[in-house]
């Protein structure tokens, strides 16, 4: 059943790109810097309602496919945060606990699937108790996540089951009940979780038996109903002390007056009604998650093929580079030999030039000497002619 408050609920439209303009709050959460995250949530409340989206690389068609889209509270719940972080996020954006991400999951799903502390689960349930009965696309309730992966403490199981008593019939799309998932679990608290589920199954069966013994009265004027938080605290305290449905416990469970009996029946009816309403809203998330997983797996295969192709190309380029380097080495050796020969030839040429210059100087000296001798002879001839 959708409440009046939920019918008017509209998720925030604020959004930033993880790779371009990530908020300081989300950056602090992803790095588990919890003190900074609390300060950011208190000082920048708008960042608590800002969706952070990441896209796949542009494949050329202009449209970028969304890889994921979270609010800060979704990401925080998946990282086992301190209770102060959730308190700050809920205070700055109370509707965040009612929002589903692109996978169709609530913050409570992430908290239950990642062994969040009892105080964190308690704050989420206080802020939005209906989330305990919300299903993801695979039909899994938060209790399915708890029993599949294990809780941080057994009291968390009792706390979540206060708002969802029909654990025996709460099946996901694969037909698995929380008990089925708990029996397949491989975490240390598995036996304690199974025992807790058995207590709730037994109590549910015995409660139905008590109702069948008495004609159901009409709830015309019920007394003030206990809050969900009050019922959770009473149930958790009862189970933590290990109380079972013994004779004494059964006597205490039977209302002492008709008015108390009416209140108990109305409460049971409301719990059943809420359980039926909430299980219909969460079946799609896990299916989308499975599709996303298949899509990511396919992309991983394609990426692996591309990496293989790049590796082969790189190997070919390395072989070509080695060939070029070997050729350059050979040419370098040849150039070194040729350069040495050229230097020898240059030396020979220089020696030849020096010889040519020496011979030229000798010829020039001889010519000058001959010229002087010819001048002397000419003078003698001239003198002889003059004496005749």
Domain count for the chain: 1
User: Phi and psi at residue 204, in whole multiples of 5°?
Assistant: -65, -45
- The encoded tokens of residue 313 equal 């190309």
- The encoded tokens of residue 330 equal 């050979």
Residue 56 included in any domain = yes
Residue 77 included in any domain = yes
- Count of CB atoms situated within 10 Å of the CB of 91: 13
State the Cα–Cα distance between residues 291 and 49, nearest whole angstrom.
27
Return the pLDDT at 309: 81
**247 has a pLDDT exceeding 60:** no
Return the pLDDT at 16: 93
Return the pLDDT at 136: 92
Residue 322 included in any domain = no
CATH number, position 101:
1.25.40.20
- The encoded tokens of residue 160 equal 């979540």
State the Cα–Cα distance between residues 243 and 246, nearest whole angstrom.
8
- Please, which pLDDT band fits residue 270 given cuts at 50, 70 and 90? low
Q: What is the mean pLDDT of residues 93-110?
A: 94
Q: What is the mean pLDDT of residues 6-23?
A: 84
**371 has a pLDDT exceeding 80:** yes
| Sequence-ordered strand ranges (E) for the chain | 15-17, 51-55, 66-70
Q: What is the mean pLDDT of residues 22-39?
A: 95
pLDDT in tens, 308-332: 888 888 888 888 888 898 888 888 8
**124 has a pLDDT exceeding 50:** yes
Tell me whether strands 15-17 and 51-55 are parallel, antiparallel or unpaired: parallel
Return the pLDDT at 281: 52
Return the pLDDT at 214: 44
Return the pLDDT at 36: 95
Q: Which domain, by its residues, includes 202?
A: 4-285
Mean pLDDT score of the chain: 78
pLDDT in tens, 131-169: 988 999 999 999 999 999 999 988 888 888 876 666 546
The answer to whether 354 touches 346, Cβ cutoff 8 Å, is: no
Return the pLDDT at 322: 87
Residue 197 included in any domain = yes
Return the pLDDT at 225: 40
State the Cα–Cα distance between residues 279 and 142, nearest whole angstrom.
10
% pLDDT > 90, the chain:
34
Residue 346 included in any domain = no
Return the pLDDT at 80: 95
Residue 308 included in any domain = no
Q: Which residues pair with 66 in a beta bridge?
A: 55
HEC string for 27-47? HHHHCCCHHHHHHHHHHCHHH
**273 has a pLDDT exceeding 80:** no
Residue 323 included in any domain = no
Residue 324 included in any domain = no
pLDDT in tens, 187-232: 998 999 998 888 877 666 655 554 444 444 433 333 434 443 444 4
- Please, which pLDDT band fits residue 284 given cuts at 50, 70 and 90? low
- Please, which pLDDT band fits residue 73 given cuts at 50, 70 and 90? very high
């Amino acid at each position: 059943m959708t409440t009046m408050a939920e019918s008017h609920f509209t998720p925030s439209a604020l959004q930033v790109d993880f790779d371009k303009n990530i908020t300081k709050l989300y950056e602090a959460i992803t790095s588990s810097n919890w003190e900074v995250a609390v300060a950011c949530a208190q000082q920048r409340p708008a960042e608590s309602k800002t969706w952070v989206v990441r896209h796949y690389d542009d494949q050329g068609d202009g449209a970028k496919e969304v890889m994921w889209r979270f609010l800060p509270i979704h990401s925080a719940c998946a990282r086992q945060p301190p209770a102060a972080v959730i308190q700050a996020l809920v205070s700055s954006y109370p509707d965040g606990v009612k929002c589903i991400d692109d996978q169709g999951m609530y913050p409570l799903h992430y908290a239950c699937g990642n062994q969040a502390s009892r105080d964190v689960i308690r704050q989420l349930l206080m802020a939005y108790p209906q989330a305990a009965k919300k299903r993801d696309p695979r039909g899994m309730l938060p209790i399915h996540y708890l029993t599949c992966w294990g809780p941080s403490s057994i009291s968390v199981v009792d706390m979540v089951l206060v708002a969802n008593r029909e654990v025996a019939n709460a099946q996901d799309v694969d037909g698995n009940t929380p008990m089925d998932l708990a029996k397949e679990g491989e975490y240390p608290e598995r036996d304690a979780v199974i025992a807790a589920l058995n207590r709730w199954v037994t109590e549910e069966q015995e409660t139905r038996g008590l109702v069948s013994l008495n004609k159901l009265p009409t709830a015309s004027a019920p007394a003030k109903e206990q809050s969900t938080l009050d019922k959770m605290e009473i149930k958790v305290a009862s189970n933590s002390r290990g109380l079972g449905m013994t004779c004494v416990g059964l006597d205490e469970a039977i209302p002492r007056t008709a008015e108390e009996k009416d209140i108990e029946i109305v409460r049971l009816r409301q719990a059943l009604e809420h359980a039926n309403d909430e299980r219909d809203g969460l079946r799609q998330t896990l299916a989308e998650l499975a599709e996303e997983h298949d899509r990511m797996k396919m992309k991983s295969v394609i990426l692996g093929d591309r990496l293989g192709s790049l590796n082969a190309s790189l190997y070919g380029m390395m072989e070509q580079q080695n060939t070029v380097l070997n050729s350059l080495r050979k040419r370098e050796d040849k150039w070194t030999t040729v350069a040495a020969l050229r230097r020898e030839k240059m030396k020979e040429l220089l020696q030849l030039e020096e010889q040519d210059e020496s011979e030229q100087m000798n010829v020039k000296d001889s010519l000058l000497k001959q010229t002087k001798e010819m001048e002397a002879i000419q003078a003698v001839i001239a003198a002889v002619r003059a004496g005749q």
